Amino acid sequence: MIKLTSTEFDAGTVIHNFDCDFVVRTNGDGLWGCEPGRQVRVTGICVIHTAFDDSINTRVDVAHDSTWDIYTDTAFESAVSGALGFDVGFTEQGMQEDGLASMEV
């Protein structure tokens, strides 16, 4: 389940906040040792579109109940992409946190 709960506008930035409740089973193919079949509950997604020069940058913050080592797991990327209706991928490793995946378009 994913539900848009708010949209904010601020000086070249549009922020969409979603409440979520779905579980992803990891593939275990990430770079940092997340085992296959780990159940990760996604509880919220924040999509931030920022205008910069002549382009739009889209950051996607995903709240979840797991540790940062889900980084680069393809099942997680695919599930979040499917929920949003557009492709997202993880940002760099140093931006990942326990409970929060940093992603982008």
pLDDT at residue 56 greater than cutoff 90: yes
Tokens of 103: 């992603």
Q: pTM to 2 decimals?
A: 0.95
pLDDT at residue 32 greater than cutoff 90: no
Tokens of 53: 């020069």
pLDDT of residue 38: 97
Per the CB < 8 A criterion, the answer to whether 105 and 91 are in contact is no
Task: Give me the residue spans of the domains in the chain.
Answer: 2-91
Per the CB < 8 A criterion, the answer to whether 28 and 35 are in contact is yes
